[in-house]
Structure 1
């Protein structure tokens, strides 16, 4: 006998599981086309998913505080002598109010979250909080957060937008206080700057948080399995970023495998991470007050009971899908991170645009995920913005093409010199015969904005020579696109 109560079933035209970046606009569009009350969103915690609540919005808000601390410490470089600048560029416990940094982050998240909730309510979207799972091909059972028993819902079409969560340490943890083991969510709730932060993972999340807390005053050591930071980047770009982070005072250990985490009691140091080089050799260790585990994310598909609906997952638990975001089950679609990479908010939003067009738009112009552009920005300082192919990808993908590469240090950019933000480099990959721009990376001040300019050029089919010969306002960062191609080889 089942130890639960199933209420009477209710039918909706559409059900969306999870409310990540794609779900609210999709729900509003579907509701506008089919009437108020036609669409149900089931959300476990907060509207907006990772981006608004745990990812882009809060992290970039806190990174802004870190940059202010960094600039305050550099006042002397600009001829502005302050008590803060005397403490150096890394920030410090003496002038960082971590509780205020945290509260500013909370206030902005609450504002974004409330905006999403208000728009859904005004649009007539039905929202219920709890955990939903499949009970059949078109049937969802909800265990509500605020009510006993379970409610059954059916729908003509169902959308999976449940996203991912941080992975947990996969090594033995021996007696360490759980509150000192942080993930990308809990680290943003600290009320004090850690004395010494160990970061496991040299990817986007690890480097952004590592640099942030270094600037707020923590000593930081990053431990990564790859032989370079940001494993997908070209080696020269990755090495340039590593040098910048070391210049900021971070310690970086690469090409190592974590072994175990031990509890210690040596003043402020309360834990020890033991690791070993992948190339061989004896074990090493680093002491810390806290550790951030940022070595991957897991899809939230393990709670969906997808086999009941005939939905297949890959070996890592991500939902299998075709180029139109259709899963292996009829009338069930997947959006956002639950389908695997690229795990970016703007890709999730593009998933929404694809489904909006295909379900309620023009049937004659069906959109797909095939060959879509995947821009991204890593919010280290300086930023790393990238669009298109990396050099190593272009040469592997097109062995017969005349691949040429242009590189230019940010020290050659007038605007960067004027603002004393000369760290980093630009890099472009082109076809030397057709002059097609294949890829572009900017590791430099406002690297994401510079990347977006080149992306627009690529979208318009412009040749690199048109950027080389274009007239840009002086002095702007954009005018560097005149000079970049002078180093083409």
Structure 2
């Protein structure tokens, strides 16, 4: 049995920096990877999808610049093979950088293969046993595939990125941010896209007005949106895919060449052998952790998507920061220090931090709101991109910022104006009294905060 001070399972966003930190402290580290280095973000998430989003944006601009006085003669040609090749190059560069980093450290052993727990301290990989005093689980997640779709050739976010020909038709099941990003990018590439969503709105976690605005943006992208589509399933029919829905009202059917499933993710914990350990899971298979990301076994930690405490690249990296601080730093970071934040990279993007109106109402917090439609912002009008709105919520008793939802051009960047104030614990007056650069979108944030509206609980 090979012995290490620490074993890390998985090379997602938390694993490699933790490995280098442990190794830098003189500890002997094994980091195990059964697939490609880098986890979801590098291979099937942020890096590849945002490369595709960028290409789709170029196609949109090429086709829609006449009102700016720019004319392009002839049809805009889309070469998906070239788009994929660019994406593959970016991914490959990340693989090479990670491998060089991990193999360049003498205290790190990169082990290729599938890890399975033997007990609380021991792991088997490729028939070889490994022992460590500390174990860190960083195994991520994968797309959820309901039984109703397993008889057809469905696509996921991973396989969608391997296509080399643009689908003539694309049906997407699900109405979250993964669905909307792929829907808009492939509509801009030339596919006829339909979204089926079981619920009564897209982006179900967002406020109703934001979801309505997102739906308008998606429909304006040429995408058909079918809400309240229950009992969705798929069958093979004449060499194509029949997507059947609305069984309660008399089933309806859509024929398509391609079907993308975007109905959530499940953790990669079901085949780790965790039943041989004392590590506790929740009802969905996610690993339960405390404020320092320790599992129910104190020398085993869970980081990244498998712990259900973020499911984003930035939260996975912050998981590393939390664990690293708990192990080595005087200032101990905690999971409870973190403010929820994320973006959906539709065009224009949606960005969130902290609480939204739905959550404030549910918690019964007395709050005021500041709002601004993008159509009233000079910079947005100058760019010709006036879709969306800005919302900021303020605690009526403490004057602290509770959260913000921004939908509009550049929202994924200027949301950090609010995010930083949340971490600073500052009163909203700090931003209200700040002088921002003109012309920008963020210059309207101080103006918004000069005009707080009625308490959230009084809004209809």
TM tier, smaller: over 0.9
CA distance in 1, matches of 2:236, 2:194: 17
Q: What pairs up with 1:128-147 in 2 under 5 angstroms?
A: 128-143=111-126
1:197 has 2:170 as partner: yes
User: RMSD of the alignment, in Å?
Assistant: 1.5
CA distance in 1, matches of 2:299, 2:427: 42
Q: What pairs up with 1:160-199 in 2 under 5 angstroms?
A: 160-171=137-148, 176=152, 178=153, 181-199=154-172
Q: TM-score, normalised by structure 2?
A: 0.95
1:41 has 2:31 as partner: yes
Aligned partner (choices 222, 225, 246) of residue 276 of structure 1:
246
1:468 has 2:432 as partner: yes
CA distance in 2, matches of 1:302, 1:457: 40
CA distance in 1, matches of 2:361, 2:300: 38
Stretch deviating more after TM superposition (22-31 or 333-342) = 333-342
Stretch deviating more after TM superposition (234-243 or 455-464) = 455-464
Kept after mapping to 1: 8 A contact 2:434/2:446: yes
Moved segments of 4+, more than 3 Å: none
Deviation string 1:304-349 (CA, Å, 9 cap, x unpaired) is: 1012121121111111111111111231110001111421111111
Q: TM-score, normalised by structure 1?
A: 0.90
Aligned partner (choices 370, 373, 387) of residue 339 of structure 2:
373
Q: What pairs up with 1:409-424 in 2 under 5 angstroms?
A: 409-424=373-388
State the shift of 1:95 in Å: 0.3
CA distance in 2, matches of 1:487, 1:67: 35
Secondary structure (helix, strand or coil) at the match of 1:83 reads: coil
Aligned partner (choices 428, 447, 455) of residue 483 of structure 1:
447
State the shift of 1:371 in Å: 4.0
1:297 has 2:287 as partner: no
Kept after mapping to 2: 8 A contact 1:373/1:387: yes
Q: Which residue of 2 aligns with 1:83?
A: 73
CA distance in 2, matches of 1:444, 1:487: 20
Stretch deviating more after TM superposition (381-390 or 476-485) = 476-485
Q: Which residue of 2 aligns with 1:257?
A: 230
Structure 1 residues 20, 408: closer, same or farther in 2, change over 3 A?
same
Which structure 1 residue ranges, 5 or more long, are not aligned? 1-8, 88-93, 144-149
Which structure 2 residue ranges, 5 or more long, are not aligned? 455-460
CA distance in 2, matches of 1:245, 1:259: 21
Deviation string 1:273-298 (CA, Å, 9 cap, x unpaired) is: 00117xx4222222211000111111
Kept after mapping to 1: 8 A contact 2:310/2:316: no
Kept after mapping to 2: 8 A contact 1:12/1:155: yes
Q: What pairs up with 1:314-393 in 2 under 5 angstroms?
A: 314-362=282-330, 365-393=331-359
CA distance in 1, matches of 2:207, 2:309: 19
State the shift of 1:398 in Å: 3.2
Kept after mapping to 1: 8 A contact 2:143/2:265: yes
Q: Which residue of 1 aligns with 2:83?
A: 101
Secondary structure (helix, strand or coil) at the match of 2:147 reads: coil
CA distance in 1, matches of 2:85, 2:147: 32
Structure 1 residues 468, 172: closer, same or farther in 2, change over 3 A?
closer
Q: Which residue of 2 aligns with 1:5?
A: none
Q: Which residue of 1 aligns with 2:182?
A: 209
CA distance in 2, matches of 1:214, 1:258: 25
State the shift of 1:461 in Å: 2.7
Aligned partner (choices 120, 124, 134) of residue 102 of structure 2:
120
State the shift of 1:77 in Å: 2.0
